[in-house]
Structure 1
Amino acid sequence: MASKIIILVLYIFIFSESLPARAQTLIRAGYWDSDDGFPVSDVNSALFTHLMCGFADVNSTSYELSLSPSDEKQFSNFTDTVKIKNPSITTLLSIGGGNNPNYSSYSSMAGNPSFRKYFIDSSIKIARLYGFQGLDLSWNQANTSRDKYNIGILFKEWRAAVALEARNNSSQSQLILTAKVAYSPLSTAAAYPVDSIRQYLNWVHVITTEYSSPTWQNFTGAHAALYDPNSVSNTEYGITEWIEEGLSADKLVLCLPFYGYAWTLVKPEDNGIGAAATGPALHDDGLVTYKEVKNHIKNYGPNVQVMYNSTYVVNYCSIGKIWFGFDDVEAVRVKVAYAKEKKLRGYYVWEVSSDHYWMLSQAAAEEDKRNRQNKRLLWAIVLPITTACILLIGFLLYYYCWMKNLKLEAKASKDSANSQADAGDFNSNDPDLREYSLADIEVATDRFSIENKLGEGGYGPVYKGVLSDGQIIAVKKLSKTSTQGFEEFKNEVMLTAKLQHVNLIRVLGFCIDTQEYMLIYEYMPKRSLDYFLFGMCLTA
């Protein structure tokens, strides 16, 4: 029995510990934009678990999802191509994250029950039509606190609708619902409501990228910071706030920005963090993709030095008067490790087309793989040691039980021998005394039922019984709590047997079976001591 318990405990331990390890594999998601000219067939889907296709928009008149003929072709091609290349990929249709989304339409839609229904029904219909497995809202924060309240209602109704649609269509699994959200729930009064996210969305994509607009005159690098000692606006702050507000870490997906900024320096030789700049470089807003940064560095030869700043978790380089701040392999590895450390749901790439020969996506996937391998290695060390300890404890427990059983068996054997010797003592003193077995007494008293109980004294309870031969007896049973031991019981049996008298109830025998001590008397119904003492005739 002990060995079975040990095996069961070990099985439960191994099985329960292996489940979290599988469940904690990071989501590796990426956004693909149909408008940036990057063919979906060129996406290295092996590096991702989820791909979001962007972007559908809301019609400002009908409040349904609005798709142009080119959108329809792109979306259909997206799901078909991804499934052929990698059937394990989960695809989601992203809504509202395009170049010029009309967010006033989203505000009107969210604030009207009929408009919300038009939007929800059309989104589910289009997702199914083009083979998407989920829907993602890329309107990352509401415009007003009223919008925030309405978005909470939208999430609730959206979840109810996809659940109902899945119940009515048993061949389809329920659509996934996600959304992009601000880096912190406290960053604005219109940030999406935490309770609604927790109850109705599968997870959210946290925009942990830009915490302030670029400052051309005094660059701080805050757009990429995990930890900025000079500001509360950083990734650690935002993630902590989401969790403290009640959203579990496994509902948060961290952003990996595959872009950076370029500045024109005042002095090329003054190119450190915080160097003075005259304004953006290369583009009007200074924003450059990682692909552009790498191509620019390549064009200026191998002597360009790229520096990594661990404080802001960002790379930077200076090429003449142009200063670049961007994520590179080192920064990506740190952020993926951070997501794993914080037990976040995973990370997402904004956007996949900005990568350069999949260097960043590959680095992220490798870091995730390395973390999982380290965990398996840890379990490979911990599990055998833990198993050995459990087996040792089990062996000691088994040995203890075995020794205890041996002692009990020895004691039982000794008690049996003593009982036989004691019975011989009783019979040698009074050969007329009969030794009864416990089984005989239990049958006679109906297992000492309460209906057969006559009374109870300091010695113990007294029961009425009927033997197999029809003789009625009274059984005085030594209580387990009685202070009288076996020697006292033995003396009482012998003394009572010797004191047989016409005016005393006769002792018929005894029982000393299996540590039970009982005296067996003849049963006298409805008579008392004064009958025997004074000869008073009482009606029986």
Structure 2
Amino acid sequence: MANIMLCSCIVFFVALCSDVMANPHCKGVKGAYYPSWAFSTFPPSSIDTSLFTHIYYAFLVPNNTTFKFDIDDETSKLLFNFTSTLRSSVKTLFSVGGGGEGPARFSRMASTSVSRLSFIKSSIEVARKYRFDGFDLDWEFPQNKKDMENFAILLDEWRVEVKKESLATKRPQLLITAAVYFSVDFFLWGEFRSYPVPSINKNLDWINLMFYDYRGSWDTSATGAQAALFDTKSNVSTSYGLSTWIKAGALRSKLIMGLPLYGRTWKLKDPNVDGIGAPAVGVGPGDEGTLTYREIEKFNEENNAKVVYDSATVSAYSVAGTSWIGFDDTNSVAMKLHYAQSQRLRGYFFWAVAGDKDWKISTTAKQSWIIS
């Protein structure tokens, strides 16, 4: 097994180096999102920048009518603090949108050439003013085929404007990335639609694949591995999602594996039946059934929880009484990143950086990723 993994990593190294030779900007990505609401308890200066290459400020949201970014004085101070603290050590991007924003604003923004240009021009202005290296679009999620068509047009026009600005100012081109669904198509809910892979390959520097939130408080009937690498009972898994992107023609050198620094919790129906898929009757501890990895470590220690590594899903879970927590530990993260490298992916990212405990997971990730 070890020799197979070593050979896979060597193949990955050769493939990625070929990409680097063709594109000097094609290097391994070790990213993490920084939630702005954590500023008071976890300022940017708290981040161990030696563990990352890119940090995303989350989130900025454009005006609902003009689709420009209206930055108030408080946010302006946060942005200057963020980039001035970090940019000498890592690349910084600001992420637009987020899961709490919803899709409607972006659907309207992307629907006309005028609104798209307003958004694009403003994004470039914000990036340059606050000294970001680029931007990340977190549109969760395009709802139909028309949205996907407009998503492609938006990326085309964004790249054109970024190139134009770079030539005019003689500055390096700003990075354009996007956070996307775990699968290239939406087969679980809503209208069937697929991401425009040709436009993504052409225009984005990379995409952050959100390989998490497979299970959670929306289904309290049974426990689950919320970021399962494998799932023999369904297609809701990282390995399946990744395969759909690759089959659709997405360049492996633009695919970034998303990893959660949080877990999902359930209340067991019977504390004696506690495996993955065990019957549950509600959410467990945490905010709406969610705990950061830092909180999970504390919970496990204080409650003398039983901690189990599940090799079938490549995940971990802990049990204390009727409380059940599914999460990623150092073992599962290491195995996932070995898998990512065997698939010749570009790198990984975490949601969200403030959730780690003593940098255990982030350090494991960096040590597991053999490409700098």
Look up the equivalent residue of 2:35 and give its one-letter code. D
Where do residues 90-105 of structure 1 align in structure 2 (5 Å cutoff)?
90-97=91-98, 100-105=100-105
Task: State the Cα deviation string for residues 413-470 of structure 1 (Å, max 9, x = none).
Answer: xxxxxxxxxxxxxxxxxxxxxxxxxxxxxxxxxxxxxxxxxxxxxxxxxxxxxxxxxx
Look up the equivalent residue of 1:79 and give its one-letter code. T
**Map of 1:81 onto structure 2:** 85
Pair 1:202 & 2:205 matched: yes
Is residue 141–residue 190 contact of structure 1 (8 Å, CA) maintained in 2?
no
* Structure (1/2) with the larger helix percentage: 1
Distance in 1 of aligned mates of 2:128 and 2:20: 29
Distance in 1 of aligned mates of 2:115 and 2:251: 31
Where do residues 175-254 of structure 1 align in structure 2 (5 Å cutoff)?
175-188=174-187, 189-214=192-217, 215-221=219-225, 223-254=226-257
Secondary structure, counterpart of 1:35 in structure 2: helix
Distance in 2 of aligned mates of 1:356 and 1:120: 37
**Map of 2:106 onto structure 1:** 106
- Relative distance call for 1:22 and 1:108 in structure 2 (3 A) is closer
Look up the equivalent residue of 1:173 and give its one-letter code. P
Distance in 2 of aligned mates of 1:225 and 1:18: 26
Query: Deviation of residue 184 (structure 1)?
Result: 1.1
Secondary structure, counterpart of 1:107 in structure 2: helix
Is residue 142–residue 191 contact of structure 1 (8 Å, CA) maintained in 2?
no
Secondary structure, counterpart of 2:214 in structure 1: coil
Is residue 16–residue 344 contact of structure 2 (8 Å, CA) maintained in 1?
no
Query: Deviation of residue 241 (structure 1)?
Result: 1.1
Distance in 1 of aligned mates of 2:296 and 2:18: 39
**Map of 2:357 onto structure 1:** 356
Is residue 304–residue 318 contact of structure 1 (8 Å, CA) maintained in 2?
yes
**Map of 2:173 onto structure 1:** 174
- Relative distance call for 1:78 and 1:96 in structure 2 (3 A) is same
**Map of 2:32 onto structure 1:** 30
Secondary structure, counterpart of 2:256 in structure 1: strand
Percent pairwise identity? 35
Is residue 57–residue 67 contact of structure 1 (8 Å, CA) maintained in 2?
no
Look up the equivalent residue of 1:299 and give its one-letter code. E
Distance in 2 of aligned mates of 1:30 and 1:347: 8
Larger radius of gyration: 1
Distance in 2 of aligned mates of 1:340 and 1:202: 18
Secondary structure, counterpart of 1:53 in structure 2: strand
**Map of 2:63 onto structure 1:** 59
Does 341-350 or 257-266 show the bigger shift? Answer: 257-266
Distance in 2 of aligned mates of 1:20 and 1:154: 29
Higher relative contact order (CA 8 A, sep 6+): 2
Distance in 2 of aligned mates of 1:331 and 1:32: 22
Look up the equivalent residue of 1:262 and give its one-letter code. T
Query: Deviation of residue 18 (structure 1)?
Result: 10
Secondary structure, counterpart of 2:185 in structure 1: coil
Query: Deviation of residue 19 (structure 1)?
Result: 4.6
**Map of 2:4 onto structure 1:** none
Query: Deviation of residue 313 (structure 1)?
Result: 1.2
Task: State the Cα deviation string for residues 57-80 of structure 1 (Å, max 9, x = none).
Answer: 010121112323222111110000
- Relative distance call for 1:35 and 1:261 in structure 2 (3 A) is same
User: Which consecutive residues of structure 2, in runs of 5 or more, have no partner in the other structure?
Assistant: 1-13
Distance in 2 of aligned mates of 1:205 and 1:44: 21
**Map of 2:133 onto structure 1:** 133
- How many residues are matched? 348
User: Which consecutive residues of structure 1, in runs of 5 or more, have no partner in the other structure?
Assistant: 1-15, 374-540
Is residue 103–residue 141 contact of structure 2 (8 Å, CA) maintained in 1?
no
Distance in 2 of aligned mates of 1:343 and 1:291: 30
Is residue 56–residue 66 contact of structure 1 (8 Å, CA) maintained in 2?
no
Query: Deviation of residue 322 (structure 1)?
Result: 0.6
**Map of 1:294 onto structure 2:** 297
Match of 1:256 among 231, 254, 259: 259
Look up the equivalent residue of 1:297 and give its one-letter code. N
- Relative distance call for 1:216 and 1:75 in structure 2 (3 A) is same
Distance in 1 of aligned mates of 2:209 and 2:180: 5
> RMSD over aligned Cα, in angstroms?
2.1
- Relative distance call for 1:101 and 1:73 in structure 2 (3 A) is same
State the TM-score, normalized to the length of structure 2.
0.88
Is residue 259–residue 287 contact of structure 1 (8 Å, CA) maintained in 2?
yes
Is residue 110–residue 151 contact of structure 1 (8 Å, CA) maintained in 2?
yes
